[in-house]
Structure 1
Amino acid sequence: MYSSGYSNDPVMANFQQYGFKAVIAKPYDVVELSKVLKEVLAAPELDSETEKACLC
């Protein structure tokens, strides 16, 4: 998960290319952070070579 307060941050726009599963823009509150964390933790891992879900 990646977080930034800069709207022009290239990682925010292309977070998956940098290896992140999600982004959250600053400032954020606890409810918003909780939602993104739940999504990230519930998502299956991807094998970086095949981009298929794996049970890593």
Structure 2
Amino acid sequence: MTDSVIAFILVSVSVVAIVWAFRRRHVAVTGVEIAATLPWLAVIGVAVAIGRSTS
């Protein structure tokens, strides 16, 4: 449980830092680009789940 909380906090901080950096540099990120990125998060999630279930 503690590992999940730490992972959630780290991911949250990372996302906030990336968004802040984009806004600071005035980089436009469209919804299409965000939608194109989301499947990769699913791939990473599945890979982690498989890794945890086999070890």
TM tier, shorter chain? 0.3 to 0.5
TM-score, structure 1 as length reference: 0.36
TM-score, structure 2 as length reference: 0.37
Structure with higher helix content: 2
Rg larger for: 2
Structure with higher strand content: 1
